[in-house]
Amino acid sequence: MDSWENDEAIQRFREYLKIPSVHPDVNYDGCVEFLKRQANELDLPMVAHELVPGKPVVVITWEGKDPRLPAILLNSHMDVVPVYEECWTHPPFEAKISEEGYIYARGTQDMKSVGMFHLEAVRRLKAAGVRLKRTVHVSFVPDEEIGGEHGMKAFAQSEQFKALNVGFGLDESCPTTNSKVIQAFNGEKTNRQLKVTCRGKPGHGSLLQPNTAGEKLHFVLDRFMMYRAGEMQKQARGGWVGDLVTINLTQIEGGVQINVLPESLSLYFDVRIPPTIDHDDFDNMIRNWCREAGEDVTFEYVGNNASVEITNIDESNQFWTALLGAVREIGYDIHCRICPGTTDARFVRQQGIPVINFTPILNSPVLLHAHDERIHVEVFRRGIAIMEKVVEAVANI
């Protein structure tokens, strides 16, 4: 325990975890002040861009020997999801270290740990007198947990971001129970929320009349659920969820009274489409289902995110080969695939910049957004050591 309490990197991490940057209505002032102190200790310049009021984007910059080269972006988000404190073994913003060496706190896995891996890697390299070829920008953004609209999305589209001259980025993936293989992502599914509206002839609930909204809803729902069942079969055969289309019915609305046939009924679906699926073909399939259901059946996107190209993980991507080589050199490996959810990396990839989602948290239960989110101090230390090698490798290309 004494070695943990005296480890300055662990204490800095705990200090960051204790800042309750939790939704809803996050106040980021505490995070900005903490990061300002880290930048001062590292003798590095820091800028807090506030493109949206109350939504600061913090960038700490370590200039490389050749700042003309495209820079490296190490990104993480400052916000964390809500907690049910009564369900936690230890208070979620106390960052208590248990006797077994686990740090309990919201953000230990998602993703204040990764932000500290980035900063501590830079700290170690600077302390060792290392000078990197490329400039390294360590960014901390708001609101990733609620879609990133006022965080990385706004920042990635800004002139301030363009001025960073980013050539490659690292962002979050997820922990793994494996002790030797790190989980990474080179792309992610497109999140689309859609609404299907079925209109029919209203009337008395005692009648058996044709062309009702309910009949059309049944037809459309059946098509969606059959498609979903097919994807679940693929998953049962060992398919990775990141390679599958996920379809979930999340809302049904319509009707005015139980004995009145409704003029309109609507279905809402949360749909996640992998980059291997042609998005236009998928749209046309849904249009055909609506047409087959009958007249006056339409669909619209409530949220229609654009498809984003994946980052290549072959020899054409020198950053990937450097990353993989650095990890293998110290005795680990990387399993890279499509992220089943969404991260801020998609906004950077939309700018044509390759990004690998990389979280070096090994041999750990996956507790993203869960009660008792935690990380062992030795896992945290190992994550810093791995990130140090990775940053040095990709920034020296």
**Residues taking part in catalysis:** 79, 144
DSSP 48-104: EEEEETTEEEEEEEE--S-TTSPEEEEEEE--B----GGG-SS-TTT-EEPTTSEEE
CB burial of residue 181 (10 Å; 0-12, 13-18, 19+): middle
CB 361 within 8 A of CB 376: no
Distance CA 182, CA 369 (A): 20
Instruction: Give the containing element (helix H, strand E) for 271.
Output: strand 264-273
Distance CA 121, CA 32 (A): 19
The beta-carbon contacts of 90-98 under 8 Å, at least 24 apart in sequence, are 90/372, 92/373, 93/17, 93/18, 93/19, 93/20, 93/22, 94/18, 95/13, 95/14, 95/15, 95/17, 95/18, 97/1, 97/4, 97/5, 97/10, 97/14, 97/377, 98/374
Distance CA 29, CA 333 (A): 38
Residue 94 corresponds to which tokens in the numbers above? 């106390």
Distance CA 314, CA 354 (A): 12
Residue 188 corresponds to which tokens in the numbers above? 């992610």
Identity of residue 129 = G
25: left (phi over 0), alpha (psi -120 to 50) or beta: left
Distance CA 298, CA 289 (A): 10
3-class state of residue 267 by DSSP: strand
CB 132 within 8 A of CB 42: no
Distance CA 41, CA 114 (A): 19
Strand partners, 77: 141
